[in-house]
Protein backbone atom coordinates (compact mmCIF):
# COMPACT_ATOMS: atom_id res chain seq x y z
CA UNK A 1 0.00 0.00 0.00
CA UNK A 2 1.21 3.47 -0.84
CA UNK A 3 2.54 5.18 2.37
CA UNK A 4 0.71 8.42 1.53
CA UNK A 5 -2.62 6.60 1.15
CA UNK A 6 -1.97 4.65 4.38
CA UNK A 7 -1.30 7.93 6.26
CA UNK A 8 -4.51 9.48 4.88
CA UNK A 9 -6.50 6.44 5.96
CA UNK A 10 -4.95 6.56 9.39
CA UNK A 11 -5.67 10.30 9.67
CA UNK A 12 -9.30 9.68 8.67
CA UNK A 13 -9.71 6.95 11.31
CA UNK A 14 -8.11 9.13 14.02
CA UNK A 15 -10.36 12.07 13.06
CA UNK A 16 -13.46 9.89 13.20
CA UNK A 17 -12.49 8.48 16.58
CA UNK A 18 -11.78 11.97 17.92
CA UNK A 19 -15.21 13.13 16.82
CA UNK A 20 -16.93 10.13 18.38
CA UNK A 21 -15.06 10.45 21.65
CA UNK A 22 -15.67 14.20 21.83
CA UNK A 23 -19.44 13.78 21.53
CA UNK A 24 -20.94 14.88 24.87
CA UNK A 25 -22.72 12.21 26.83
CA UNK A 26 -26.43 12.75 27.40
CA UNK A 27 -27.21 14.90 30.41
CA UNK A 28 -28.25 13.11 33.56
CA UNK A 29 -31.97 13.28 34.27
CA UNK A 30 -32.85 15.57 37.20
CA UNK A 31 -35.19 13.97 39.74
CA UNK A 32 -36.41 14.31 43.30
CA UNK A 33 -35.54 11.48 45.65
CA UNK A 34 -39.23 10.53 45.82
CA UNK A 35 -39.40 10.22 42.02
CA UNK A 36 -36.27 8.08 42.05
CA UNK A 37 -37.64 5.80 44.77
CA UNK A 38 -40.99 5.44 43.01
CA UNK A 39 -39.50 4.60 39.60
CA UNK A 40 -36.13 3.15 40.65
CA UNK A 41 -36.12 0.15 38.29
CA UNK A 42 -35.98 2.33 35.16
CA UNK A 43 -32.94 4.20 36.52
CA UNK A 44 -30.76 1.16 37.30
CA UNK A 45 -27.20 1.83 36.04
CA UNK A 46 -28.27 5.27 34.76
CA UNK A 47 -26.91 8.67 35.79
CA UNK A 48 -29.34 11.00 37.52
CA UNK A 49 -29.01 14.39 39.19
CA UNK A 50 -30.62 15.03 42.57
CA UNK A 51 -30.55 18.08 44.83
CA UNK A 52 -30.65 17.40 48.54
CA UNK A 53 -29.08 17.81 51.94
CA UNK A 54 -26.16 15.71 53.19
CA UNK A 55 -26.86 13.67 56.33
CA UNK A 56 -24.79 11.17 58.30
CA UNK A 57 -21.51 11.86 56.45
CA UNK A 58 -18.92 9.17 57.14
CA UNK A 59 -15.46 9.70 55.65
CA UNK A 60 -12.67 7.16 55.57
CA UNK A 61 -8.91 7.72 55.80
CA UNK A 62 -6.94 7.14 52.58
CA UNK A 63 -7.38 3.49 51.62
CA UNK A 64 -4.94 1.27 49.70
CA UNK A 65 -5.67 1.18 45.99
CA UNK A 66 -5.02 -1.71 43.69
CA UNK A 67 -5.93 0.22 40.52
CA UNK A 68 -2.35 0.77 39.37
CA UNK A 69 1.21 1.18 40.59
CA UNK A 70 0.91 4.97 40.20
CA UNK A 71 -2.19 5.10 42.42
CA UNK A 72 -1.33 3.59 45.78
CA UNK A 73 -3.97 5.38 47.92
CA UNK A 74 -7.59 6.34 47.35
CA UNK A 75 -8.64 9.68 48.85
CA UNK A 76 -12.19 10.88 49.44
CA UNK A 77 -13.89 7.55 50.10
CA UNK A 78 -17.12 8.32 51.94
CA UNK A 79 -20.71 7.29 52.59
CA UNK A 80 -23.65 9.54 53.39
CA UNK A 81 -27.40 9.90 53.11
CA UNK A 82 -28.88 12.44 50.73
CA UNK A 83 -32.30 13.76 51.64
CA UNK A 84 -34.95 16.12 50.36
CA UNK A 85 -38.61 16.68 51.28
CA UNK A 86 -39.59 13.48 49.46
CA UNK A 87 -37.14 10.95 50.99
CA UNK A 88 -33.54 9.85 51.53
CA UNK A 89 -31.14 7.34 49.98
CA UNK A 90 -27.52 6.19 50.53
CA UNK A 91 -24.63 7.59 48.52
CA UNK A 92 -21.06 6.32 48.18
CA UNK A 93 -18.03 8.14 46.86
CA UNK A 94 -15.47 5.62 45.63
CA UNK A 95 -12.49 7.93 45.96
CA UNK A 96 -9.70 9.06 43.70
CA UNK A 97 -5.92 8.89 43.45
CA UNK A 98 -5.81 12.67 43.91
CA UNK A 99 -5.65 14.30 47.35
CA UNK A 100 -8.13 16.95 46.13
CA UNK A 101 -10.84 14.27 46.37
CA UNK A 102 -10.82 14.73 50.14
CA UNK A 103 -12.80 17.95 49.63
CA UNK A 104 -16.24 16.54 50.39
CA UNK A 105 -19.50 18.13 51.52
CA UNK A 106 -20.36 18.12 55.20
CA UNK A 107 -23.51 17.35 57.14
CA UNK A 108 -26.21 19.90 56.37
CA UNK A 109 -24.71 21.06 53.07
CA UNK A 110 -27.16 21.32 50.20
CA UNK A 111 -25.63 19.66 47.15
CA UNK A 112 -26.35 18.78 43.57
CA UNK A 113 -25.36 15.15 43.14
CA UNK A 114 -24.92 13.39 39.82
CA UNK A 115 -24.65 9.68 40.46
CA UNK A 116 -25.02 6.28 38.88
CA UNK A 117 -28.02 4.53 40.42
CA UNK A 118 -27.74 0.88 41.38
CA UNK A 119 -30.81 -1.08 42.38
CA UNK A 120 -29.79 -4.09 44.43
CA UNK A 121 -32.04 -6.95 45.60
CA UNK A 122 -32.30 -7.02 49.38
CA UNK A 123 -31.35 -10.27 51.16
CA UNK A 124 -34.47 -12.46 51.28
CA UNK A 125 -36.89 -9.54 50.93
CA UNK A 126 -39.00 -8.30 48.07
CA UNK A 127 -37.89 -4.65 48.33
CA UNK A 128 -34.78 -3.42 46.62
CA UNK A 129 -32.02 -1.20 47.93
CA UNK A 130 -31.25 1.94 45.95
CA UNK A 131 -27.62 3.04 46.12
CA UNK A 132 -26.03 6.00 44.38
CA UNK A 133 -22.38 5.99 43.31
CA UNK A 134 -21.28 9.63 43.17
CA UNK A 135 -19.94 10.91 39.86
CA UNK A 136 -20.03 14.65 40.59
CA UNK A 137 -20.90 16.72 43.65
CA UNK A 138 -21.51 20.46 43.63
CA UNK A 139 -22.05 22.22 46.97
CA UNK A 140 -24.93 24.63 46.36
CA UNK A 141 -25.29 25.93 49.92
CA UNK A 142 -22.85 25.12 52.71
CA UNK A 143 -24.40 24.48 56.10
CA UNK A 144 -23.74 27.20 58.63
CA UNK A 145 -21.03 25.94 60.98
CA UNK A 146 -19.69 27.61 64.10
CA UNK A 147 -16.45 29.54 63.60
CA UNK A 148 -13.55 27.88 65.38
How confident is residue 147, by pLDDT bands cut at 50, 70 and 90? low
pLDDT for res 18:
38
pLDDT for res 28:
73
Using the predicted structure, report yes or no on whether residue 68 has a pLDDT greater than 80: no
At 79-129, the pLDDT tens digits run 999 999 999 999 999 988 888 888 899 999 999 999 998 887 766 666 667
Enumerate domains of the chain plus CATH numbers. Answer: 25-141 (2.40.50.140)
Task: For the chain, list the strands marked E by DSSP.
Answer: 29-31, 47-59, 63-64, 73-84, 87-96, 110-121, 128-141
Distance CA 24, CA 39 (A): 26
pLDDT for res 69:
79
- Average pLDDT for 15-37: 60
At 70-81, the pLDDT tens digits run 888 999 999 999
Amino acid sequence: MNPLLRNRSLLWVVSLLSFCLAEPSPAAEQLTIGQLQKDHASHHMQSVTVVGQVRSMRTFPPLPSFRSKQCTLLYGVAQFELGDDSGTFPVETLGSCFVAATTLPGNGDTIELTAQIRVIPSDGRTERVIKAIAQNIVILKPASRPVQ
